[in-house]
Amino acid sequence: MAAKPTPGDLQIITRIAVFRGLKPETVEHIIAPASAVMLKAHECLFRQGEPATAFFIVIDGWVKLYRITPSGEETVIHTLTKGDSFAEAVAFTGSRYPATAEAVSDARVVRIPADHIVRCIRESPDIALAMIASTSQHLHHLVQQVEQLKAQSGVQRVAEFLASLAPVDHGSCVIALPYDKVLIAARLGLKPESLSRAFAKLRSIGVAVHASHVAVSDIGKLRQLAADERAAINGVLRGAR
């Protein structure tokens, strides 16, 4: 069921990349018809190939974007959480959604109608420039993902993923995994058994997995491993993929 965004929702919405550089009154005009949608885990927001009728901002929870390959397999493109926006480009070009958006957990998502965005762009071309910049950021992220898949070992990908979730920059910490290990594996371009092997290899640098939580004795070592290709090739983690 859709509802009007709350003041808290609006604080998150106005800080997203799409709206940076726009005047406050312009942002207010863009988000005027916005609605907040509550999703249950595994509920679809839209499906690949459907007409793009809106763009979205995640307020709470996790949403995954995935495509179905010709062979029927699911390929995870991105996982999004609080403050992430998506489907901007297709919303103002009148295209179809290139992927399916599905809630990974219970989620709250704000929807802004595409036809309203188009009207706003006609009134203020600066909005189109902001959306192009946001789309460029998404493209940069995808390029980084491709580079990661090609250049990093499986262990490095897992190390980088964990490091990105760490609540501290130094010392020890406990990391709560945001979603299940099957999705983590898909997000990192790994098979579930490869993810398990990578976690096992990380024990040598003080990483211990306990169900949905991961204890890290030294986050600095984890970050170093994620950044150092030679560590994965020549070190104790050799051969983990």
pLDDT digits (tens, 9 = 90+) for 18-63: 887 788 888 888 899 999 999 999 999 999 999 999 999 999 999 9
Q: Are 135 and 21 in a shared domain?
A: yes
- Decide if pLDDT at 74 tops 60: yes
In a domain, 239, yes or no: no
pLDDT at 234: 47
Q: How far is CA 178 from CA 63, 108, 150, in A?
A: 11, 15, 24
Q: Are 49 and 15 in a shared domain?
A: yes
- Decide if pLDDT at 233 tops 60: no
Q: Are 198 and 121 in a shared domain?
A: no
Q: Are 204 and 104 in a shared domain?
A: no
| Closest C-alpha to 109, from 213, 31, 38, 29 | 38
Task: Tell me which residue has tokens 């103002």.
Answer: 92
In a domain, 212, yes or no: yes
pLDDT average, residue stretch 222-226: 88
In a domain, 240, yes or no: no
Domain C-terminal end among 99, 115, 149: 149
Q: How far is CA 177 from CA 124, 162, 164, 182, 211, in A?
A: 41, 8, 11, 12, 9
In a domain, 158, yes or no: yes
CA distance 149 to 194: 14
Domain C-terminal end among 149, 175, 193: 149
In a domain, 84, yes or no: yes
Q: Are 136 and 88 in a shared domain?
A: yes
pLDDT at 230: 45
pLDDT at 236: 45
What is the C-alpha radius of gyration for the chain, rounded to an integer number of angstroms?
Answer: 20
Domain C-terminal end among 93, 124, 149: 149
32-41, 82-91, 194-203, 212-221: which range is least confident on average? Answer: 82-91
Residues sharing a CB contact under 8 Å with residue 214, sequence separation 6 or more, in sequence order: 162, 174, 175, 177, 199, 207, 208
Q: Are 31 and 139 in a shared domain?
A: yes
Which residue did the predictor score with more confidence, 209 or 124? 209
Q: Is 0.85 surpassed by the pTM of this model? A: no
In a domain, 102, yes or no: yes
Q: In this structure, what are the phi and psi dihedrals at residue 155, rounded to the nearest 5 degrees?
A: -65, -40
Q: Are 130 and 178 in a shared domain?
A: no
- The number of angstroms, rounded, from the C-alpha of 36 to the middle of its chain's C-alpha atoms is 19
What is the domain extent for residue 11?
A: 2-149
In a domain, 224, yes or no: yes
The predicted-structure confidence for 115-168, as pLDDT tens digits, reads as follows 998 888 888 777 777 777 766 766 766 676 666 666 678 899 899 899 989 999
Which residue did the predictor score with more confidence, 88 or 105? 105
Q: Are 83 and 142 in a shared domain?
A: yes
Q: Are 143 and 119 in a shared domain?
A: yes
Which CATH number do you get for residue 227? 1.10.10.10
What value does the mean pLDDT of the chain take?
86
Q: Are 140 and 229 in a shared domain?
A: no
Q: Are 17 and 132 in a shared domain?
A: yes
Q: How many domains does the chain have?
A: 2
Which residue did the predictor score with more confidence, 128 or 211? 211
- Decide if pLDDT at 218 tops 90: yes
Q: Are 200 and 99 in a shared domain?
A: no
In a domain, 202, yes or no: yes
- DSSP annotation of 172: -
Which CATH number do you get for residue 109? 2.60.120.10
pLDDT average, residue stretch 97-126: 91
Which residue did the predictor score with more confidence, 238 or 48? 48
